[in-house]
Chains A and B, each alone.
Chain A
Amino acid sequence: MSPRPAPPPSESERILGDSGASLLDLVDNVLNKGVVLTGDVTIGLAQVDLIYLRLSLLLCAADRVLPPESTNVPTPRRSRRANRTLSSQIREATAVYRAESSHVRNAPPSLPPRRARSRKRG
């Protein structure tokens, strides 16, 4: 029994190439795949992306994020009370921090060294 003759190549096959690495392989591998080194996390179920979190780091002082004048910024009604509480807490903490900082700055440069106690033996 002679082997079945190969069917003529379709349009897709001509684009895809017949074997080895085609242009499609190159683009697919290099651009669409490969490890992504950022803080992006995708939580998925059955190949469906459910949650997308961008894990960016935000490192800054609280008083710079929320200065006292920012209380005039309108906020949604539902979270207004919570925001007010949070902002007042941050302002309070910032005030304490500033007061402590100024206290440290205004403190005398150094205290006289303590005398070492000498023990007499015998």
Chain B
Amino acid sequence: MTLCIYALATPVAGSLRRRGLEHEPLQIVTVGRVSAVVGELPRRPSATHDVLARYDAVVGRLAERYTALLPARFATCVDRDELMFILRSRQQALRRALRHVRGRAQMTVRLVSDTTDVAPDSPSPAGKGIDYLRRRAAEAAVPAFEPLRVAVKKWVRDERVEKRRGIATVYHLIPRGATEAYRRAMIARAGQVDLRAIVSGPFPPYAFTE
């Protein structure tokens, strides 16, 4: 048997009457002011579409219960002693991360563009380190997203940007109560500037767990 970690959260009062991936009862392991929500599984879960969807559903239900929640990466399985050690040794960093996401949700915006703004990653020629860093910073920038960013700026508490395979993905951490307003503003602005933007969410803050 192994402990599958679903999420870390700030402890709340009351018992947890929820089930995990394989309908196992979820347990709470608390060290200091950080709780881990775990389920005991016979083996590490395999990454099939069905299992991933169920995992996401479990984490989504946990996010309804906990206002501050850090989803664990899929199939993070440890034994109880190791979990206690990790929670104890990383207590400060985890509490800081939990404060950051408290009462917030993740929205994901993907830009699909034929312009060079969303160019695929390509190997860079060798050169000076500072040139390399500047080039990486320029590659990470998405100028086409600027008008959209302005439209939702008042809700955005944090942002992550990724560019892969010609698709730019922008993750925004926003207040949970503002998700619909954010979506409307984003879609309206994208229509005005004739940009293909796919907005999805709200999600638990998967992209803001560092």
Contacts and interface: CB of A to CB of B under 8 A. Distances in A.
A13 B196 contact: yes
Interface stretch (A18-26, A65-73, A84-92, A104-112): A18-26
B203 A29 contact: yes
A82 interface: no
A74 to B, nearest CB: 34
Contacts of A22: 200
B136 A34 contact: no
A116 interface: no
A17 B198 contact: yes
Interface residues of B, number: 44
Contacts of A18: 198
Contacts of B78: 37
Contacts of B94: 35
Contact of B73 (A10, A16, A19, A34): A34
Interface in B15-67: 47, 49, 52-53, 55-56, 59
B140 A47 contact: yes
Contacts of B166: 12
B56 to A, nearest CB: 5
Given A4-B194, A34-B73, A37-B5, A48 B136 contact: yes
A111 to B, nearest CB: 39
A33 B76 contact: no
Q: Which of B76, B200, B207 has the most CB of A within 10 A?
A: B200
A45 B137 CA distance: 10
A13 B110 CA distance: 10
Contacts of A100: none
Given A10-B196, A18-B198, A19-B200, A35 B133 contact: no
A4 B169 CA distance: 25
B112 interface: yes
Contact of B52 (A16, A26, A47): A26
Contact of B72 (A10, A19, A23, A34): A34
Contacts of B110: 16, 24
Nearest to A22: B200
B71 A27 contact: no
Contact of A48 (B59, B133, B194): B133
Closest 6 CB pairs of A and B: A34-B73, A33-B206, A35-B209, A29-B206, A30-B74, A12-B112
Interface of B: 5, 8, 47, 49, 52-53, 55-56, 59, 70-74, 76, 78, 83, 86, 94, 97, 108, 110, 112, 132-133, 136-137, 140, 166-167, 169, 191, 194, 196, 198-201, 203-204, 206-207, 209-210
Given A19-B199, A33-B73, 10 more contacts: A3-B191, A10-B196, A12-B166, A16-B110, A26-B53, A31-B52, A33-B71, A37-B8, A46-B140, A48-B133
Interface of A: 3-4, 6-7, 10, 12-13, 16-31, 33-39, 45-48
